């Protein structure tokens, strides 16, 4: 009936609100001795949040800084594995955030970041301006929306951990493989040396041909 349609409509709005929140997620490759910057125009009085994490490479660390439109550094961290930064803008303009791997001369990094601008819009019409309390149905949909956001955050967190653990496992597997090959070559060389040494013990030495004449 009408109640069932309303439930489906509100729950669908909660799902779309959770999945369609404004922001940018990106995984980037950061070569050694390199720096990459991103630019975003933001209105004044708006909150933005930057979350980042190094997935693979070196010691899983990276330099990061954020500048406002006037070139003032409002956030700066060095050799961080992961971090989160929130800021309420005071001036309108283009904000710049950069990831730097310039301190590393041979480690290639993979960095994930999530840049969110502004607050999430309400899932219900005029929800922020309502005087009356939410109905039981509306409260249930708001709860579903919050739980979906928590699920999305958890999935992102565990996906990044899985990617980081897989990278470490592959790196460890490569080291073990190289070490095994090195041990095999050393054992082969030692075996050849032992065979040649034992052979020299049983080799008959011929007497010298020189002697006094009669």
Q: Are residues 134 and 116 in the same domain?
A: no
Region 66-91 average pLDDT: 93
105, 63: one domain:
yes
204 in a structural domain: no
Q: Do residue 28 and residue 101 come from a single domain? A: yes
Q: Which of 121, 141, 172 is the last residue of a domain?
A: 121
What is the rounded average pLDDT of the residues 37-47?
Answer: 91
Residue 14 has pLDDT above 70, yes or no: no
Confidence of residue 107 (pLDDT cuts 50, 70, 90): confident
The answer to whether residues 70 and 113 belong to one domain is yes
pLDDT at 177 over 50: yes
Task: Give the model's confidence band at 185: pLDDT under 50 very low, under 70 low, under 90 confident, else very high.
Answer: very high
The per-residue b/e assignment along 184-204, b for 16 or more CB within 10 angstroms, e otherwise, is eeeeeeeeeeeeeeeeeeeee
State residue 73's pLDDT score: 94
- The string of pLDDT tens digits covering residues 189-207 is 999 988 888 888 777 666 6
Q: Is residue 207 part of a domain?
A: no
**143 pLDDT more than 70:** yes
Would residue 12 count as lying in a domain?
no
Q: What is the pTM of this model?
A: 0.62
| 97 & 117 share domain | yes
172 and 93, same domain (yes or no): no
103: domain CATH number is 2.60.120.380
CB–CB of 84/51 below 8 Å? yes
Within this chain, do residues 134 and 117 fall inside the same structural domain, yes or no? Answer: no
- pLDDT above 60 (res 116): yes
Could you tell me the strand order of the sheet in which 82-88 lies?
24-30, 109-117, 47-56, 82-88
Total tally of structural domains belonging to the chain: 2
81/168 same-domain check: no
Domain around 86:
21-121
Between residues 213 and 194, the one the model is more confident about: 194
Percent of the chain scored above 70 by pLDDT?
77
Q: Does any domain span residue 55?
A: yes
135 and 173 co-located in one domain: yes
Going by C-beta distance under 8 Å and a sequence separation of 6 or more, which residues neighbour residue 125? none
* Same-domain check for residues 186 and 99: no
Mean pLDDT, to the nearest integer, of 59-66?
A: 92
């Amino acid at each position: 009936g009408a109640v069932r349609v309303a439930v489906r409509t509100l729950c669908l709005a909660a799902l779309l609100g959770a999945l369609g929140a404004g922001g940018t997620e990106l995984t980037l490759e950061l070569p050694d001795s390199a720096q990459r910057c991103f630019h975003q125009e933001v209105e004044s009085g708006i909150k933005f949040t930057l979350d980042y994490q190094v997935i693979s490479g070196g010691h899983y660390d990276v330099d990061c800084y954020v500048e406002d439109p006037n070139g003032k550094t409002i956030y700066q961290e060095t050799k961080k594995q992961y971090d989160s930064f929130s800021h309420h803008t005071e001036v309108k303009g283009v904000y710049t955030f950069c990831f730097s791997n310039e301190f590393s001369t041979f480690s290639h990094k993979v960095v994930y970041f999530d840049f969110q601008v502004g607050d999430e819009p309400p899932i219900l019409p005029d929800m922020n301006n309502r005087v009356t309390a939410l109905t039981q149905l509306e409260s249930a949909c708001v709860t579903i929306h919050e739980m979906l956001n928590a699920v999305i955050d958890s999935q992102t967190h565990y996906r990044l951990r899985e990617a980081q653990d897989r990278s470490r496992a592959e790196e460890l597997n490569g080291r073990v493989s190289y070490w095994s090959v090195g041990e095999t070559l050393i054992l082969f060389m030692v075996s050849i040396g032992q065979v040649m040494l034992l052979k020299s013990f049983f080799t008959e030495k011929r007497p010298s041909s020189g002697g006094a004449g009669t």
